[in-house]
Structure formats: structure tokens, C-alpha cells
Amino acid sequence: MADELFVPLYEKIARKNTIQRSLDITLLFLLVSLLGYRLFCLNNHGLPWFIALVCELWFTFNWVLVVNCKWSPVEYKTYPENLERRFPELPNVDMFVTTADPVLEPPIIAVNNVLSLLAADYPADKLACYVSDDGCFPLTFYSLVEASKFAKLWVPFCKKYKIQVRAPFRYFFGDSEPSSTDGNLEFQQDWLKMKAEYEVLARKIEEAARKSVPCDLTGDFAVFCDVERRNHPTIIKDDTLLNEFGNSEELINSAVQALKGKKGFPNNLSNSLEAACKVASCSYEYGTSWGTKCGWIYGATAEDLLTGLKIHAKGWNSALHMPELPGFMGCTPSGGPEAMAQQKRWATGLAEILVGKNCPIIATLTAKLQFRMCLAYLWILFWGLRSIPQLCYAALPAYCILANSHFLPKVEEPAIWIPIATFVTYNLHTLREYLKAGLSIRAWWNNLRMGSITATSAYLFGLFAAILKLLRISETVFEVTQKDQSCDGDDPDVTKFTFNESAVFVPGTTLLLVHLISLLCLSSKLPTPVHDMHGVGLGEVFCSLWVVLCFWPFLNGLFERGKYGIPLSTILKSAALALLFVHFCRT
């Protein structure tokens, strides 16, 4: 029996890292060389050279933090079969699903989340799922009541056939359809039955969503009558279902809470979780502290990062767990207002942490956080502050073309090979990481492009929001974003960038217009050789073209209509700013 206590649950395996370390060091050497060259030639150049130096200092510092975080990568080989041997009495597990608005976050998404969690490969009597609806909508409760009926069929089906993709809308509309040659007739029949049942569930929820009142507000639904969204008492609904399947019991415990802060107070997720923990059957040392020590009570929108920081400061360690991608239920849009809002919220939270009382530097100085863990948090926090250096660096090529200046060595100078080697090495390095992770070149390019777009737009507004809060001019608010119901890979529009009239799209549109104007002005000077134009070099022209490529979705948006087109108001604002920039460059 004593030997059972030492049965390993996982094994930490050091990953060979020779090539990656070589590339990391090479890139760091190139960055330091570029800084050294800029400092050596600083007196012979003007403002663009100095701005490039400051921006590259930031990039180099950030790269040092990146190298620290990925210097010694490890992989975890897990042994779930040893779990019951190690712990004959498995602990209770409580899972939380949060939602706030059935229009922006369709209930079918929350339903699929709950169903995928309930069907997890874990003893059913030790598994509970709690759904927090901060908007107090009867539609959410109605959807979950109907989903609980479907769960009585779905959970046994998943466990009987060991289904890994447990979110129904992913499973039935993916590649799981049994073929006609499949010899398992029972599975084919069960599959068709389950799909029909899920379609009935989805249709009921869809029809309820079309009504002003989704159902009769009587019985269990009576508490939702005449509820004021921003000022109502806590509503807790507990729905426990017991389903017999063979010799096993499937316990489905789904508590629906519709919570909201008192009038005059901001939407506070920690309030929801605090109430949820009062209902929970076990939530342990840190679970019971939600609402008093964890959550948005910290005063920042990045409460997840703050919770991790607090836990690490108490001596906890973390392990990276990356399940197979099909196991994920949700879908993140490739770009658009929702993605920008999420990135802005994230950047605001990072800035709030860095300048607040929970800064990891303070935790390290008070001996509450390991130094290397502090560097890892600083990398994340400084990543959210990269908007200004990246925006300045992206605008430099256009400025140099318009002002007949340069921030890169001339083509004929040997030093030109330093920025070229840096650019090539960095992009090949990141591409290699994507390919090694099993991702495509297209995924690499999309993420590289979106990194430039979000850094110069959403992150910029997030930084301003944090500064306004620091100066006590305004408070940050938690914005609920629109969630996609479908992520069909065959849909040609699913990866298209969408726009609205939000000011977050003004910087990107302005930057694109500035580069288009600069390239247009340059073309009017041809056929004069580019490298002979009063200091304008071929490097600046290439960088300007690169920025246009990165902001290609904005270029498409100038000519599209509807949600795929940039609104006229945004174009006019950006055009005015672009003309001011051009005037500044010419003076």
C-alpha cells in the first residue's frame, strides 16, 4: 500500500534545445550589435536614428525576458491511469462557466461548454458545474434546464464510446460522422439519435432566443419577473439530475446563478464566484477565497494573471498542460472588434498590474516571488506596453521617405547586414517554432500580422485606459464581447477581418494611409535610383512595404463594404491624422 503513494502521476522530460538556444543567442547578439552600431554613429544622424535606438533598446530588453522564459523547456508526460492508485478517493472538482449577455454570448455556447465539461472522463459523483450569469437572463436558465435533459443522454453516450470531442456542436458538425462502411451498427444508430436530439435542443434554444420572453415566468422561472439587471438580489438555482446507465450513476449537478453587483458598483466577476463557492460541494484553500482574495477585487481586468501571481507568491508551482486542439469547444475570431476589445482589455490589465501594488517586482523584493518567476511575469507585463515603441518603429519608414532621411544603414554600407540578419533570423526562428508545433505557415503569418495590428491599436488604447485610471480620470470597465456561434473552416468569411466605428481602428488605418502616401510620393520621384535620394535608402522602402503587407486587412477594408469595410467616419479621421503626419514630416 505504501508503494501506491509513490506512483508517479507525471514525468518531467527536459526537451532538447540546442538549435533554439543557438538561434536565441544569435538573435540577441545581432540586437546588441545593432545597438552598438547605433550608439557609435549616433552623433552623425538625426532624430529617426535616435528613435530607432530607443525602440530597439526596448525590443532587446524584451528579448532578454523571452529567452529567460524559454531557455529550459520541458514536456510533461502524464499517467492518468495512476490517479486512482495514488488517490483512491479522488477529490471533488468544481468547474465554473461564466456568461453575461445572451445576445453577445449566445446561450448555445454556454450550453456546449457545460455539456463538454460534464462529459469529462472523471467520476460523475465528484464532478460539479456552476454557471454564473451576471446578466440575470431567464433565457440562460431556460437553455441550461433544456441542456440538462439532453445531458442525461449525452454524458452516457460520450463515456460509452470514449468520445474525446465532447462539445456537441463540434462533434456532430466535424469529421466524426460514421461512414456507411462502419461495422458498428449500434454506434451508427446511437450517433444519429444523439445528433437528432442535439438539433432539437439547439432549435428550442434558438426559438426561445427570438422571443421577448423565452418561456412562462412561472414556477422556477418566477424569480426572473421584473428583475432590474443592475440591482437585484443573488438568484441561485440548483438542478441535480441522477441518471442510471448500466451499473453506474451519472450525477449531473448544474447550478445556475444570475448575479449582479449593487447599484452604482461595476460588474464584478468575483461576486459571482464568491456566491458560487457557497453552493459548491468542496473549491479547497484557494477556491474558498474567491471574492475576498481573488478575482476582480484586485482592481484590474486581468484578474486571471493576478490570481496566478498571488498563488506563485505563496510558493505554488505551475505545470503547462496543453490538451489536443479538438478538445477545445470555443472559437476565437481571427480579427475584428471583438478581438480588439479582448486585446485592449488584456493590455489594460497588464498595465494596471505593472504600476499597481501587486507588481511582481514588489513581490520579489519582499521575498515572496522567485526572481526567475518575476522575469516571466515582467515579460508578460512589458509585452502589453509595447504599443508605443512598436507604433513609432512602424511609422519610421514612412517618416524617413517623406522627410528624405533614413534610420537604417545605406545598402552600400557593410552594416546593412546587421538589420537584415536580425530580420531574417527572427522570422525564420518564429516560423520554425510554429512548424515544430504542428501549425502552418499561414498560421504563422496571420499571428505575425495580428501581432503588429493589435500592438499598434488595441494595446495602445489599453495603455491609455490604464494611464487614465492611474491619474484617477476614469475607471476601467469590463466589456462583454460578441462570441461566434460557428467556426466552420470551410466558410471563406470566418477568417476575414471585420470593422466597426470603434476608435481602436483609427491608428491602424492612419498608419496604413501614411505608408501609402509615402510610397506614392516616392514613386513620383522615380526613375531616380532609390539609394541616391537625399538619404532615403532601399531599407526604408522595404520596411514601408512590409508594414503595408502586415496591415493588408486594413487595405482590403478601404474598398470593402458592410462589416468587412472600414467605416467612412474612421477613414476620414485617419485621413486627417495622416495629412497632419505628412505635414509634420515636410516641415
* Residue numbers annotated as active site: 134, 304
Measure Cα distances from 563 to 343, 487, 500 in Å: 19, 17, 7
Measure Cα distances from 352 to 61, 292, 298, 339, 355 in Å: 20, 19, 10, 20, 6
**Nearest in space to 479 (alpha carbons), one of 355, 344, 350, 372:** 344
Measure Cα distances from 567 to 35, 42, 144, 479 in Å: 41, 42, 38, 22
C-alpha span between 340 and 457 (Å, rounded): 8
Ordered DSSP codes for 129-161: EEEEETT--HHHHHHHHHHHHHHHHHHHHHHHT
C-alpha span between 251 and 247 (Å, rounded): 13
C-alpha span between 445 and 70 (Å, rounded): 21
**Nearest in space to 393 (alpha carbons), one of 41, 38, 65:** 38
Q: What are the helix (H) ranges across 437-551? A: 441-455, 458-470, 506-523, 538-550
- Torsion angle of C-alpha atoms 340, 343, 344, 349, degrees rounded to 10: 170
101 membership: H or E segment, kind and range: none
**Nearest in space to 409 (alpha carbons), one of 220, 538, 544:** 538
Measure Cα distances from 409 to 38, 40, 418, 541 in Å: 10, 13, 9, 13
Length of the chain as a residue count: 587
Q: Roughly how many angstroms between the first and final C-alpha of the chain, as a whole number?
A: 83
3-state secondary structure of 175: coil
C-alpha span between 173 and 154 (Å, rounded): 15
* Residues paired with residue 130 on neighbouring β-strands, in sequence order: 96, 255
Q: Residue 362's CB: how many other CB atoms inside 10 A?
A: 14
3-state secondary structure of 551: coil
